[in-house]
Chain A
């Protein structure tokens, strides 16, 4: 890999053959391997019992009822009956998995460490993390040990000085052209930039890209997105009851004035008349 005449820096082709290509190849292969290991490690989603499904979906019913309440397809008496039934049931806790709560029982917040279902979710996250961390640490150690301070390639386009710390990590030379890329920086470029290639090789939802996992810790994802995490349904139900009341205030039946509407539509009544 030769440089232009102005710069008196020449790279040995051996560096290209024995450092640049191996690093890239190893990173791609580790990504592919990681994808398959994660697929193997993935536990089959746990089946929910009937009561648990019912508990989860009770909120959906309210949402469906509320979704159309401003222009509801069902007449007032039916709407009121459904709405009030749901409200009562939410208040009494009929939909809770363990049945209605006892009056004198102290309110308990579910502890994720004592619930086996939550532990499973946490373990799955940890396992994926391990599969990500271990090989990346090994590769980084390998590069640091054997190729520390290597200059690998020269980028074919000029860059500003701001990129120096990004492209020349591990080389402390203030005067070198920013276009030269060090071995450690090449590793990071690959680490963050190979996702597009993985998508080509393994398809859209692969788990080869490890940079994605960097942002989430196994403990951070617990409370929010993961299915099967303990949620305090009592609180959710309470909020939903307020929503239901609000929707009942907004309620109007689509058939309320439909006779007038149809008559106007067919020109039997003048538009916008009251009677």
Chain B
């Protein structure tokens, strides 16, 4: 592979934030050995950072050290390089050393967001969940707009079966990215797990409402649900089935969401069944071919 095409591929990875460490390393190492990065201009530093991360990922620490050396010669005291050094430290040293390193960085500049996030991830990795949650809360209190941070917090809570705090963290992520159906789906699934069925049902329906009808020219009733919509319909079906089940107990909702009326529930149940049958009657794209798992789904929804 020529150097030029390798470079353009790597630039493409950088733009799209693709991790693909092995491929990045193969291409990047070849460029580094030919010294071709020198005539990249300002892009060469971004390239070195990318290669350093990739080689840490696949365990070629010697290459990572070379890149780091070049970077720290060019930018002494840069927070970005310092953070990369920290990641290199995490790869080989015990986590305590890395923690200590990040704490020193934070002492020098208390608002160093990257170092703070790395510190939280090390804390989580070493099993100090309580401490990680505390730090993450403090972090999000300062840097409210960090969606990844909120998702991480929701994940941490859900891992400890703390579904209500998890929902709260997710609601912040939803506020920050209200157009993202995947966060809404996660919210709905967390609500379902927390046994808040009316809330889960409504949020699943919000996801359906957000993500269906991408195909133009086909009426909704005739279109085939795809991707995330199918998963949301499964969620709707699960909720309606449990809400319709004869039970002496009223469905509990911690959030105080009222469930739909029984007539509507029945209609929704019917609709979800129909949608799922449509989704599994033919496999995506190929007409006439029977989708995998058709039998099971048909048996389940019946």
Q: Chain A residues in contact with chain B, CB under 8 A? A: 47-50, 52-54, 57, 60-61, 64-65, 68, 72-78, 81-82, 254-255, 258-263, 265-269, 275
A-facing mask of B110-130, CB < 8 A → 1, else 0? 110000000000000000000
* CB pairs A–B below 8 angstroms (25 shown): A47-B109, A49-B110, A50-B110, A53-B111, A54-B141, A54-B142, A57-B145, A60-B144, A60-B145, A75-B203, A75-B257, A78-B171, A255-B202, A255-B206, A258-B209, A259-B202, A261-B209, A262-B208, A262-B268, A263-B264, A265-B209, A265-B220, A266-B221, A266-B271, A268-B270
* Interface residue SS majority, chain A: helix
Which of chain A's residues have a CB closer than 8 A to the CB of B109?
47
CB <8 Å contact, B176 and A64: yes
CA distance A234 to B175 in the complex (A): 25
Which of chain A's residues have a CB closer than 8 A to the CB of B144?
57, 60-61, 64
B75 on interface, CB distance cutoff 8 Å:
no
Given A73-B175, A81-B168, CB of A262 within 8 Å of CB of B205: yes
Q: How large is the interface on B (under 10, 10 to 19, 20 to 34, 35 or more residues)?
A: 35 or more
Q: Which of B254-268 contact A (CB under 8 A)?
A: 255-257, 260-261, 263-264, 267-268
A-facing mask of B206-248, CB < 8 A → 1, else 0? 1011000000000011000000000000000000000000000
Which of chain B's residues have a CB closer than 8 A to the CB of A78?
167-168, 171, 255
CA distance A59 to B143 in the complex (A): 12
CA distance A140 to B109 in the complex (A): 47
Which of chain B's residues have a CB closer than 8 A to the CB of A50?
110-111, 142
Give the residue of B171, B264, B267, B268 whose beta carbon is less than 8 angstroms from that of A74: B171
B64 on interface, CB distance cutoff 8 Å:
no
B134 on interface, CB distance cutoff 8 Å:
no
B48 on interface, CB distance cutoff 8 Å:
no
Given contacts A78-B168, A259-B268, A262-B208, 11 further A-B contacts (CB under 8 A): A47-B109, A49-B111, A50-B142, A52-B111, A72-B175, A74-B171, A77-B255, A82-B175, A259-B202, A267-B221, A275-B261
